[in-house]
Amino acid sequence: MNPALSVLEQTFGYDSFRGQQHEIIQHVIDGGDAVVLMPTGAGKSLCYQIPSIVRDGTGVVISPLIALMQDQVDALTAVGVRAAFLNSTQDAAEQARVEQAYLAGELDLLYVAPERLSQEQTKRFLSNGRIALFAIDEAHCVSQWGHDFRPDYLALSELADRWPDVPRIALTATATEATHKDITARLQLGRARHFVSDFDRPNIQYRIVSKNEPRKQLLDFIRAEHAGDAGIVYALSRKSVEQTAEFLGSHGVTALAYHAGMDSASRARTQSRFLREDGVVVVATIAFGMGIDKPDVRFVAHIDLPKAVEGYYQETGRAGRDGQPSTAWLTYGLQDVVQQRRMIDSSPGDLAHRRRMSAHLDAMLALCETLECRRVNLLAYFGQTSAPCGNCDTCLDPVTGWDGTVAAQKLLSTVVRLQRERGQRFGAGQLIDILRGKETPRTLQHGHERLATWGIGQELGEQQWRGVVRQLLAKGMLAVNDDGYGTLVTTEASAAVLAGSESVMLRAEPEKATRSRATKAAKKAAADLPESAASLFEQLRVWRAEQAREQSVPAYIVFGDATLRAVAVERPASETDLSTITGIGAKKLESYGAMLLEVVAAHPA
């Protein structure tokens, strides 16, 4: 049998390769270089793990995720692969043991942090053993274009000079065209074959809702669709992270905070509970989650607008690695746009840098405001064309557009008049009060009831006006002034709207608090097991939790949900039956086979 296939079956317990895995693996086994772009959860790890096992020597994996190396090694050890890591968390004795094992040719895989590989000493040490291949994980970290640049990655270009005959495979889940080019150039992968996968993650339902009370909206979303599920909530500031975790916690959700301001021990504790316990929600700044290989994250929520589509897609990709239905939920509003524009204006970088950030934000806003399929928009960003997906909010609940030209003119002329007649600038709240003719201490104090546009916008409610302002900002027909107060000013594009030579199509603001059809669709898909299998599945999860606790490893290292599901449905009665189930290879059959059969036998069919 083909050696790659036999490792897949015997060791990992899977019966077939996914997507381009087989081609990639064969190419690397044959000594070729590869650049692999594959979305999160598609199965990048096997692409270097199997060649490392099949080829002579040790596969050296460069990964920035020191905190996860232990889990990666545990997962490999659990299936009988000889793996180890070298990083700064180990004491000298442990390091010496690992080094000894490597030199003796006793390792299939060795994980190394990039900063370590840039040391001459490490390179000399590696040269004394036999290297099967280099795998450069999270390869986008080499690119300054990307969102995760790490200077240590630049030193990896030397690998090509020093070991010209050792195949190198660079892998990432996030690369636009520019990043892809950068990876290839900086890592000297000129002769590599490129494998670019379909970036679609069809099991993730994309939804973007307009923001009014973000924490309450989030809680409602979790309660209605993901009670008891593991999830990640992203927020931009530490304060918001802490408040949101506390809010969820006080409403019965097991929620833990994670941000860069916490000491590393508490961060490690949060990460470890997230991986090891069922149903933990982590509320985090973007620092959390890269490379976290937890397959059963059921939702990723953003309560602040992400800064770029690239990062957003990678973050949402952490949901549903096991292929089961999952949700990517984002809430976004006017304040997000104002705040991010302000952040860009006051950022310390040069003009080119600000332009780049601005372009990133524009793409993100276009995604939020689209009337079309979210997925079509997302995939187009990564250069992939697709048809409407049927599994995003705009597909499930089509939004109507409306001609907002007149509304836009009313708003813009208020801005112009304030500026021209009074030399004043205001933020969205005051402009909306003027348009709606609302007498407040602030409108009266400024005598704004004497403006020609006073009260001319009564046909729209406050929420709808906020939608108009937000969308004009998103379209660049209105701008946030760089005075630091978030006041609004016109732009070049405003002139055409005011002159009537350009019309403005806007997204209708949904009525508040209606539960969409999308919500129902997500729920139904998640409850897809027949009743008796569902209760056996729960039983198996309890058993798995005990095993994980005893061995102090994450539950998924014992078995993934997909495997437990298959066991619950098929009710295997013998070890032979068990060995046909996905995720059960020789080693796991030996470790757990008898116990699994007992759990099944004890459960009434």
Binding site for ligand ADP (CB under 6 A): 14, 17-18, 21, 38, 40-46, 293, 295, 321, 560, 582
CB of 394 to Zn ion, least distance (A): 6
Q: Which two tokens stand for residue 3?
A: 């050696």
Contacts to Zn ion from residues 287-306, by CB under 5 A: none
- Answer positive or negative: Cα dihedral of 47, 49, 55, 57: positive
Q: Please, what is the minimum distance in Å from the beta carbon of residue 40 to ligand ADP? A: 4
Residue 392 is given by DSSP the state B
**Which residue number, 171 or 334, has a Cβ lying nearer to ligand ADP?**
171
By CB under 5 A, is residue 54 in contact with Zn ion? no
CA of residue 386 relative to chain centroid, distance: 20
375 interface partner picked from ligand ADP, Zn ion, none, CB below 5 to 8 A per type = Zn ion
CA 390 to CA 227: how far, in whole Å? 24
- The phi, psi pair for 176, rounded to 5°, reads -80, 180
Q: Which residues pair with 233 in a beta bridge?
A: 283, 301
C-beta of 589: minimal distance to ligand ADP in Å?
Answer: 16
- Minimum Å gap between C-beta 520 and Zn ion is 16
592/583 Cα distance (integer angstroms): 12
Q: How far apart are CA 500 and CA 107, in angstroms?
A: 71
Residue 295 touches which of Zn ion, ligand ADP, none (Cβ within 5-8 Å per kind): ligand ADP
Task: Residue 389: name its binding partner from ligand ADP, Zn ion, none (Cβ under 5 to 8 Å by kind).
Answer: Zn ion
* Shortest spacing between CB 4 and ligand ADP, in angstroms: 11
Least distance CB 308 / ligand ADP (angstroms): 20
- Tell me whether residue 280 or residue 392 sits nearer to Zn ion (CB atom): 392
- Counting other chains too, the contacts that 164-168 makes at CB distance below 8 Å and 24 or more residues apart are 165/31, 166/131, 166/132, 166/133, 166/134, 167/28, 167/31, 167/32, 167/33, 167/34, 167/51, 167/133, 167/134, 168/33, 168/34, 168/133, 168/134, 168/135, 168/136, 168/192
Q: Which is nearer to Zn ion, 255 or 378 (CB)?
A: 378
Binding to Zn ion (CB under 5 A) within 356-395 occurs at 373, 375, 389, 392, 395
Q: Where are the alpha helices (DSSP H) in 11-103?
A: 21-29, 44-54, 66-78, 92-103
Q: Which is nearer to ligand ADP, 25 or 480 (CB)?
A: 25
Q: Where on the phi/psi map is residue 111: left (φ > 0), alpha (ψ -120 to 50), or beta?
A: beta
* Among Zn ion, ligand ADP, none, residue 18 binds (CB under 5-8 Å by kind): ligand ADP
Note the residue count of the chain: 605
- Is 135 or 395 the residue whose CB approaches Zn ion more closely? 395
367 contact, one of ligand ADP, Zn ion, none, CB 5-8 Å limit per kind: none
Residues 106-165 interacting with Zn ion (rule: CB under 5 A) = none
Taking the complex as a whole, the smallest distance from the CB of residue 39 to Zn ion amounts, in Å, to: 16
- Least Å from the CB of residue 100 to ligand ADP: 29
- Strands 505-507, 401-403: pairing kind: antiparallel
Choosing among ligand ADP, Zn ion, none, which partner's interface includes residue 132 (Cβ < 5 to 8 Å by kind)? none
Residue 422 φ/ψ, nearest 5 degrees = -120, -5
- Which whole-number Å values give the CA distances from 520 to 238, 372, 516, 523, 531, in the listed order? 33, 20, 7, 5, 19
Separation of alpha carbons 594 and 572, rounded Å? 11
Q: Which does 373 bind (CB under 5 to 8 A by kind): ligand ADP, Zn ion, none?
A: Zn ion
> What is the C-alpha separation between 96 and 89, in angstroms, rounded?
13
Distance CA 487, CA 240 (A): 23
The entry of Zn ion, ligand ADP, none near residue 17 (CB within 5 to 8 angstroms by kind) is ligand ADP
Please, where are the H alpha helices in 552-585? Answer: 555-558, 561-570, 575-579
Which C-beta is closer to ligand ADP: that of 7 or that of 568?
A: 7
Within 271-374, strands assigned E span 281-284, 297-302, 326-332
The interface partner of residue 476, options being ligand ADP, Zn ion, none and the CB cut-off 5 to 8 Å by kind, is none
Closest approach of Cβ 47 to ligand ADP, in Å?
A: 8
Q: Degrees (nearest 5) of the Cα angle 133, 137, 138?
A: 160
E strands in 95-139: 109-112, 131-136
* CB nearer Zn ion, residue 302 or residue 375: 375
Residue 185 beta carbon to ligand ADP: minimum distance, rounded to whole angstroms? 23
Identify residue 574 by its one-letter amino acid code: S
Task: Give whichever of 174 and 331 is closer to ligand ADP, judged by the CB atom.
Answer: 174
Are 159 and 126 in contact by the 8 Å Cβ rule? The answer is: no
Look at residue 4 and give the partner it binds from ligand ADP, Zn ion, none, a contact being a CB closer than 5 to 8 Å depending on partner kind. none
45 binds, among ligand ADP, Zn ion, none (CB under 5 to 8 A by kind): ligand ADP
Per the rule left: phi > 0, alpha: psi between -120 and 50, beta: everything else, 496 is alpha
The β-bridge relationship of strands 83-86 and 34-37 is unpaired
Judged by beta carbon, residue 179 or residue 377, the one nearer Zn ion is 377
* Closer by beta carbon to ligand ADP, 358 or else 582: 582
Provide the 3-class DSSP secondary structure of residue 169: strand
Q: Which does 10 bind (CB under 5 to 8 A by kind): Zn ion, ligand ADP, none?
A: none
Closest distance of CB 583 from ligand ADP, Å: 7
Closer residue to Zn ion (CB): 373 or 596 = 373
Cβ distance to Zn ion smaller for residue 29 or 389: 389
Nearest approach in angstroms of CB 326 to ligand ADP is 13
Subset of 553-582 contacting Zn ion (CB under 5 A): none
The smaller minimum CB distance to ligand ADP, of residues 40 and 519, is found at 40
Residue 395 contact among ligand ADP, Zn ion, none, beta carbon within 5 to 8 Å by kind? Zn ion
Q: How far is the CB of 479 from Zn ion (least distance, A)?
A: 30
Residues in contact with Zn ion by CB under 5 A are 373, 375, 389, 392, 395
